[in-house]
A and B are shown apart, each in its own frame.
Chain A
């Protein structure tokens, strides 16, 4: 099966061939590198930009105003912060012009910890991005979801922020992307750029790729359960799924929801699950103060209070200025497997 980076690459290839994507660009996005995480290798509309994030977001806005369909990349979300007012502007262009203009554009950026990236390659961006209305925000946790959400993003009439959990970019999926070859090594030979001289290299794209789309706004029921619900996305989602498997052995039944879309998000799925289980844990790795999980928590309390058997809880990143490089520091700063398993176990046993 493809890993997430390959899935993104194949979706972008499909989109530039079939969905009208005109420009895939950013720092080191074009040849020879094809992106620091290889997500844009071999794409025909990929090009390198100056090292200027404001220029990248601005150009994406301009290209979409000019009738194109850009997919821009910010190399690490840690470097997107100097573009915040442009992101705000992209988000309000349709609204401020009373519906006159709209911006069909996608911005992709790797987020989160997990590669020992220290202070400026470990940031999360979901809390900040969900503060900016007018954008759709998605964050896949599997290669298949990455493919399907990116296809949907490239068909959108509105700006879409596509957050890539960098710890999962090299993880192979369990589900086959429609059209990908059965053999991983064959896929790698076809679409991974060789080491060394790449000037003569051309990818051989799988011919059977299709517009397999995952609708923005729909969550995924990863595991059904009856006693407690865990809602997550991105890097922490597989940790939640593993915790649910561990707890199943202890006789605790956990329902696992992969939110996938942060805005709009699948409240119906959360609501149905919480009404069934009465206990819910939200998990993400962004800093915990004014965290997106806090919004979900607030809504749970306000709308589902009388269904609850225990206080809804949040496991998120510590509110510290950065994620330190040392293994011990990173592990202490963002949720790890044990933090999530323990939190679920404790929530399962909580009595009034």
Chain B
């Protein structure tokens, strides 16, 4: 058995170049501030429900940065879950879109006021519509990977969900369909493990030591990583993606993450101080390594807080979708 990996000592140099570290940090702050603003909008009555991913930024931001971004099977597909604003911002989305979705305005770019916060859909970057039923995306992901394998190239399908959702049959579906000897598929199967399903602890429900070990039965290369460390997340995601891109085979990656504001607004959306805060931890390292100063990081956060407040004010005053629009887009018209 290999020795468990120790948390790097603060004296160990950060292995990514400075520019990238600053970029990751910037996006992590932007994501956190966005999520905090979404929660605030909910609490002030500017939205009916909040669900999102504060606590998953260290994993979701590198994921978005590493995606091959574009439309169609020559580019990566993302079958996301509802905690991935960090990935969307890393893909280049403006946060006001998420705020508009929270306020369910007609201008909401992801669902036109039809769906909950965090339920992104973005065809121009192959982001499949996020749906509230957990895990269904794992049954859908093999399909996009089949098309990618057929067109050639190095594009991959990425599917993400939580640990609790792996109890659904769709997770087994994904493992089976991705590893069929008749047609192995380029799917990066990701589980972000926050050890919770709403109020239910994984300890009482899951007998497996690690979710990633379920890959072994299907000869799927698998790994569990510390998703609270953006450097480890970036490095491991890069390696796993390289494998899937070149081998055209699946990889199961389990990332241990935190759930910093509980499941959703249904559980109060209050800060959970017992969980590891990936942003705080990363900032301590950045400061210790001299990458950024405390003052620079505080200024950044203040700037984003102001930007986000201004964007929320814009979203708040925008009109809701007109009632008669319920009949729009039931069917796509022939193009």
Contacts and interface: CB of A to CB of B under 8 A. Distances in A.
15 contacts: A23-B146, A54-B170, A63-B146, A66-B77, A66-B143, A66-B145, A67-B73, A68-B146, A86-B139, A89-B136, A94-B329, A98-B114, A100-B122, A157-B333, A157-B335
B222 interface: no
Interface stretch (B11-19, B125-133, B275-283): B125-133
Interface in A84-106: 85-86, 89, 93-102
B169 interface: yes
Contact of A63 (B122, B131, B143, B329): B143
A50 B148 CA distance: 20
Contacts, number: 139
B173 A97 contact: no
Contact of B330 (A23, A54, A134): A134
Contacts of B180: 50
Contacts of B123: 97, 100-101
B111 A134 contact: no
A70 B329 CA distance: 21
Given A67-B72, A68-B146, A94-B331, 17 more contacts: A22-B147, A50-B176, A52-B176, A55-B173, A55-B177, A59-B142, A65-B144, A67-B147, A68-B143, A68-B150, A85-B133, A96-B119, A98-B121, A99-B328, A100-B122, A101-B128, A157-B335
Contacts of B145: 62, 66
Nearest to B183: A47
Interface in B68-115: 72-73, 77, 108, 110-112, 114-115
Interface in A55-85: 55, 57-68, 70, 85
Nearest to A133: B330
Nearest to B176: A50
A158 interface: yes
Contacts of B330: 94-95, 133-134
B141 interface: yes
Residue from the set B121, B169, B330 with the largest chain A CB neighbour count within 10 Å: B330
B136 A58 contact: yes
Most B CB within 10 A of own CB, among A50, A86, A94, A97: A97
Contact of A85 (B73, B136, B143): B136
A136 B330 CA distance: 11
Contacts of B143: 58-66, 68, 70
Contacts of B73: 66-67
Nearest to A135: B331
Contacts of B170: 54, 58
A156 to B, nearest CB: 8
A61 B129 CA distance: 12
Nearest to B151: A67
A80 to B, nearest CB: 14
B113 to A, nearest CB: 8
Interface in A14-73: 22-23, 47-48, 50, 52, 54-55, 57-68, 70
A55 B72 contact: no
Interface residues of A, number: 39
Contacts of B176: 50, 52, 55
A66 B136 contact: no
B203 interface: no
A86 B136 contact: yes
Nearest to B149: A66
A52 B147 contact: no
Interface of A: 22-23, 47-48, 50, 52, 54-55, 57-68, 70, 85-86, 89, 93-102, 133-134, 136, 157-158
Nearest to A70: B143
Contacts of A50: 176-177, 180
Given A54-B169, A55-B173, A61 B140 contact: yes
B144 A98 contact: no
Contacts of A65: 77, 128, 140, 143-144
A55 B133 CA distance: 16
Interface string B150-181: 10000001000000000001100100110010
Contacts of A55: 139, 142, 173, 176-177
A164 B161 CA distance: 36
A335 to B, nearest CB: 32
Contacts of B332: 94, 99, 102, 157-158
Given A95-B329, A158-B332, A89 B142 contact: no
B334 interface: yes
A109 to B, nearest CB: 17
A231 B323 CA distance: 34
A59 B174 CA distance: 10
A55 B169 CA distance: 9
A57 B139 contact: yes
B141 to A, nearest CB: 6
A98 B330 CA distance: 9
B335 A58 contact: no
Contacts of A70: 143
A98 B170 CA distance: 26
A65 B131 CA distance: 15
Nearest to B173: A55
Given A63-B146, A68-B146, A98 B112 contact: yes
Given A50-B177, A96-B129, A100-B122, A58 B144 contact: no
